[in-house]
Chain A
Amino acid sequence: MNVQLLTPERRDTDLNELPFFDTTTVYGLAPFDERTLAFFDTFSKKLLADRSVNRLPEIAALAFWIRRANLLQIQKENSHLFGQAHFSLSPLGRVFHVCPANVDTMFIYSLAVSVLMGNKNLLRISARMEAPQITFLFDTLNELLGLAEFALFRDYIHIITYPHNDAISTAISGRCNARVIWGGDSTIAAFRDFKPAPRTRDIVFADRVSLLCIDCNAFNELDAKGRENFARLFFNDAYTFDQKGCSSPQSVFLLGDEAAYETCVTEMVSLLSGAIAGRYDTDIASIASLKLNRMVDDTLDRTIDHKWGDNYVTFAALRTQDATEAALPHSCGGGYFYTRRLDSVDGLLPFVDNKLQTVSYFGLDDTALDALVSLSRGEGIDRIVPLGHALDFNYIWDGYNLLEALSRKIYLER
C-alpha cells in the first residue's frame, strides 16, 4: 500500500514501513517533555523569522501558540492533570489525524497537542492542499526534522497523502489508538465505515454553526475609532474563511429595544460595507449571484422577511414565527448574515442545539455572559468568546479538552 510521504521528508513509501507502526520502540517522550517544548519553541522561532509570515496571520497565530511560554501556561491551566498522587499522564500511543481539505491550519494544533502529550502521529491530508501557507509550514517542519537534535521527532510526526482509498484508511484505522477526524459530518460518516480497533478512541469534529451576539447600545455608543476596530474584528471572524469556518458567525443577534436595534443594524451594515469593500478579495460577482439566489430562496421558503446592506455585507432578518423555530439556518457564506432582534440573550434559547459551536459576543456584561453559560448547559454552545476571537484555537475545543482526549491516566497505588 503506497502512500506519498510529505513529512519528515517528501518521498513515496510503503505504508507499513513508516516508523509510526513500529510497536517495538518505546515512547520516549513524556507529556510536556522538555525536548518537545524545545522542538516547538524552535519551530515557532523559525516560522516567525520568515518574512512571509506577515502576510499569513493564521501561521503567525500558530507560531505564537506553540511558543514554550504559551505551552507552559497551558500546562499550568491544567494543573489538575499533572503532579497528582494517584495517577500519572501517559500518551495514548498512535494517533491518526484525518485533516480537512479546505485551507485551514486547525489540524496542526491538534497535531501539536498530540505530540505534546507524547503520541506518535500520522496525518492524512488531501492532495489538493497546496496553499502556500501549508507548503511553507511543511517545508519548515521538514527542515527542523532534518536536524540531528530533533531526529527523535521523525518517529512522532508523519504527514502523508493518498487518494481516497478504503483499504489504506481501513488499515490505518485498525492499527491506531485514536483517530482525530476533522472535515465535518461527511468525513466522520465515511470513517465510521473504516472499523477501528475496539479500544480506539475517536475524537470527531462535526459540522457546526456559530453566531455573534451584539448589544445594540454598546455598538451605538462606539466612537469612530471604536467602530473602525469593531469592523476589523468582525472582518477577521466572519470573512477570513468566507463564513465557512465552523466558528465563523453565520447569524448576528442584536440585543436591545426597537429603537436601539434600528440604529444599530443600519449603522453597522453601512460601517461594515465600507470597511469590507477595501479588504475583501473574493470575486464579488460570484458572491453577488450566490447571495441574490439565497435571498430569493430564503424569501420563498419564508425564512427571511427583510434585508439590509449590499453584496459585501448582507443582513437578512429572520422571519418571526409563532410556532417553534426551525434550527439556526446555514448561511451561504460570503457575508450573508441572518439577523434577529432579541430583548436578552435568553431569546437565543430556540436556536441552541448541538450544532451550535461558538457564540462570539460584543458589549455583553457579566450578567449576559452568565446567562449564555446557563444556555450552554445541555447540548449546545461549546465556546463563548469576544468578537475577534472566533477563529482562535484553544485546546478546549468542541467540548473536548484535547490534552485529556489525547492522553491516558495511569492509576498508581504505592
Chain B
Amino acid sequence: MLNDLLNTIQYSLTRDEKNRELLPLLLERHQWHLGSCAAYRDIYNTVFEGSIRQPATLADLPFLPVSAFKNHELKSIPDSEVFKVLTSSGTTGDAVSRIFLNKETAQLQSLALSKIITHVLGKARLPMLIIDSKAVFANKQSYSARGAGILGLSVFGKDHTYVLDDNFEFDEQVLASFLERYDGQPFFIFGFTFMVWLYLFNAKTGKRYDLSKAILIHSGGWKKMTDMAVDNSVFRASLKDRFGLDQIYNFYGMIEQIGSVFLENSDGYLHCPNFADVIIRNPADFSVQPHGVPGLVQVISVLPQSYPGHSLLTEDIGVIMGEDDASNGWKGKYFKVTGRAKKAELRGCSDTFKSR
C-alpha cells in the first residue's frame, strides 16, 4: 500500500482520496512507533494525553518538535539495524539533529525524493549545472547541508558542472562551455537559493545567456534573501528577466524528514505530495488553523519508519493557500512559509557561506 502511494503519479490525490490512502498508513506508523519507541510513547501519553484518546484523523496525530532530535536519541529500531545516521549542520555551536535510518527508511526516502524530482525533471537524467563550488565538500568532517543537498540532487543529473571555482568565484567560461555543449537541450540547474541569487543572478558576464531551456530547483530558506529584501516573486521575475529562466521550483524540506519535500507549484506555493501533508497549528493552543490563517507548520510524512519523525512541528510560520485547486492541476494542499517563530532557536538549512 505504501509503495502504491509512492508510485502513483504525484500530486494526484484530492482531499478525500488522500484521507483514504494516507490516513491508514500514518495510523499504522503511529502504532508502530508507540510499540517500538518508548520515548515516543512517553511523549504521546504525557504531552498529548494519549492514554485517553485514539487518533482518528491526521490532525489527531501527536507531533514532536524538530528540536527533539537534537536533544534526544529517538529511534524505533534496535541499534543493530541502524544503517546510517544523518546529522544536520546547524549554526556553529548548536546541537545537531541525529536521524537514525535503517535500510527500509533510507530506500523509501530516495524513492520518494525521486518521485517528486522526476515529476518536474522527467525520467531521463539531464545535464546538471550546480551553482556552487566543489570546495563545498572540502571539509569532510562537518559535511555541510549544502554538500548533502548537492549530492542528494546529483543523482537526477549527469555531467555535473560546478559554476563556481575553488575560490567561490563565478567562472563564466564554465557556464559558456556548458551551454555550448547542450545547445538547445533541456538541462537542470540546482543551487541554494541565496547562492543562485548571489552567484548566478548577480554574476558579471560578458554577454547575455539564455537559460530558457533550464529547470531550476533551489532550496535553503529565505532568511538571507529577506535580509537582501528579495522575496520569491522578485526572485522569479529577476531570473526570468535576465536569463529567460522560468521553470523554477523552490523546495521546502528538512533533515528530519528527508525525501519528503514540498516543491513549489506554478502559483509559487509549496505543494504537498501524495505521501505527505501539512497542518498549520494555532500557536496559542495548537488547534488546527483554517486555510488562510497563519500558524506553526506541522509536517506529516509517511516515510519515517526507523525513527518517530512522521509528524513534526517546525518552528516555521506558514499558511495554507489552498487545496486541490492549483492552477497547474496539482492536487493536495499548498502553502507558503512566511517566517520563523521569533527567538526560537535559529537553524539554517544551509550553513553560513564562507566567502573566500
Residues of A within 8 A of B (CB): 277, 283-290, 292-293, 295-297, 299-300, 304-307, 310-312
Tell me if B198 counts as interface (CB < 8 A to partner A). Answer: no
**Which residues 37-60 in B have Cβ within 8 Å of A in the complex?**
39, 42-43, 46-47
Partner of A293, one of B42, B68, B285, B296: B68
Complex interface: chain A residues within 8 A of B315 (CB): 285-286, 289
**B61-74 toward A: CB 8 Å interface, digit per residue (1/0)?**
00011011001100
Contact B313 A290 (CB under 8 A): no
Q: Tell me whether chain B's interface is mostly helix, strand or loop, or mixed.
A: mixed
Q: Which of A292, A307, A310 has the most CB of B within 10 A?
A: A292
Interface residues in B134-189 by Cβ distance below 8 A to A read none
* Contact residue among B47, B283, B342, B344 (Cβ-Cβ distance under 8 Å from A296): B47
Contacts of B42 in A (CB 8 A): 299-300
> Given contacts A277-B284, A311-B285, A312-B284, is CB(A283)–CB(B46) below 8 Å?
no
In the complex formed, the residue of B with least CB distance to A316 is B46
Instruction: Determine whether B343 belongs to the interface, using a CB cutoff of 8 Å to chain A.
Output: yes
User: Chain A contacts of B285 at CB under 8 A?
Assistant: 310-312
Alpha-carbon distance between A311 and B284 when the two chains are bound, in angstroms: 5
Contact A285 B344, CB 8 Å, known A296-B68, A310-B286 = yes
Smallest Cβ distance from A154 to chain B, in angstroms?
40
Collect the chain A residues with CB atoms within 8 Å of residue B67's CB.
Answer: 289, 293, 296
Contact residues in B for A299 (Cβ distance below 8 Å): 42-43, 46-47
The CA-CA distance from A286 to B346 in the complex, in Å, is 11
Q: Which of A285, A293, A297, A305 has the most CB of B within 10 A?
A: A285
Q: Which residues of A contact B46 (CB under 8 A)?
A: 295, 299, 304-307
- Whether B112 sits at the interface, judged by CB under 8 Å, is no
Pair A297/B284 contact, Cβ less than 8 Å: no
The answer to the question of B317 belonging to the interface, with a C-beta cut-off of 8 Å to chain A, is yes
Is B341 positioned at the interface, with any CB of A under 8 Å from its CB?
Answer: yes
Contact B71 A289 (CB under 8 A): no
Partner of A292, one of B65, B71, B342, B343: B65
B294 to A: closest C-beta gap in Å: 9
- Decide if B64 touches A296 in the complex (CB within 8 Å): yes
Which B residue sits closest to A309, measured CB to CB?
B285
A-B contact pairs, 22 of them (CB 8 A): A277-B284, A284-B283, A285-B283, A285-B341, A285-B342, A285-B344, A286-B344, A288-B296, A289-B296, A289-B315, A293-B71, A295-B47, A296-B47, A296-B67, A296-B72, A299-B47, A305-B46, A306-B46, A310-B285, A310-B286, A311-B286, A312-B285
CB-contacts of B300-356 with A (<8 A): 313, 315, 317, 341-344
Q: A residues within 8 A CB of B342?
A: 283, 285-286
CA distance A306 to B71 in the complex (A): 20
- Looking at the assembled complex, report how far the CB atom of A217 sits from the nearest CB atom of chain B, in whole angstroms: 26
Residues of A near B284 (CB, < 8 A) are 277, 284, 288, 310-312
When distances are taken between beta carbons in the complex, the residues of chain B under 8 Å from A305 are 46
Is B344's CB under 8 angstroms from A300's CB?
Answer: no
Could you tell me the distance in whole angstroms from the C-beta of B317 to the nearest C-beta in chain A? 6
Contacts of B283 in A (CB 8 A): 284-285, 287-288, 311
CB distance from A288 to the nearest CB of B (A): 4
Interface residues of B in 210-255 (CB under 8 A from A): none
Chain B's closest residue to A310 (CB) is B285
Q: Choose among B47, B68, B342 the residue with the greatest number of A CB atoms under 10 Å from its CB.
A: B47
Q: Please determine whether A288 and B47 come into contact, CB atoms closer than 8 angstroms.
A: no
Nearest-Cβ distance from residue B4 to partner chain A, whole angstroms? 33
In the assembled complex, the Cα of A287 lies from the Cα of B296 at a distance in Å of 11
In the complex, chain B residues whose CB is within 8 Å of the CB of A286: 315, 341-344
Contacts of B341 in A (CB 8 A): 283, 285-286, 288-289
Min CB–CB distance A319 → chain B (angstroms): 9
Is A293 a contact partner of B47 (Cβ separation < 8 A)?
no
Which B residues touch A290, using CB under 8 A? 343-344
Closest to A296 in B: B68
A285:B317 contact, CB within 8 angstroms:
yes
Known: A289-B315, A305-B46. A297 touches B344 (CB 8 A): no
In the bound complex, do residue A292 and residue B344 qualify as a contact, i.e. CB atoms below 8 Å apart?
no
- Contact yes or no, B39 A292, CB < 8 A: no
Known: A285-B315, A288-B283, A304-B46. 14 other contacts (CB 8 A): A277-B284, A283-B341, A283-B342, A283-B343, A285-B341, A288-B296, A290-B343, A290-B344, A292-B65, A296-B67, A305-B46, A307-B47, A311-B283, A311-B284
Contact present for A288 and B286 (CB under 8 Å):
yes
Most chain B CB neighbours (cut-off 10 Å) among A286, A289, A296, A307? A289
What's the nearest-Cβ distance from chain B to residue A122, in Å? 34
A17 to B345, CA, bound (A): 44
Q: How far apart are B42's CB and chain A's nearest CB, in angstroms?
A: 5
Q: Within the assembled complex, what's the spacing in Å between the Cα atoms of A285 and B200?
A: 35
Q: Whose C-beta in chain A lies nearest to the C-beta of B46?
A: A299
Complex CA–CA separation, A299 to B71 (angstroms): 12
Nearest 6 A-B pairs (CB), nearest first?
A310-B285, A285-B283, A285-B341, A286-B343, A288-B283, A299-B46
Write the nearest CB–CB distance from B106 to chain A, whole angstroms.
25
* Chain B residues closer than 8 Å to A295, beta-carbon distance: 46-47
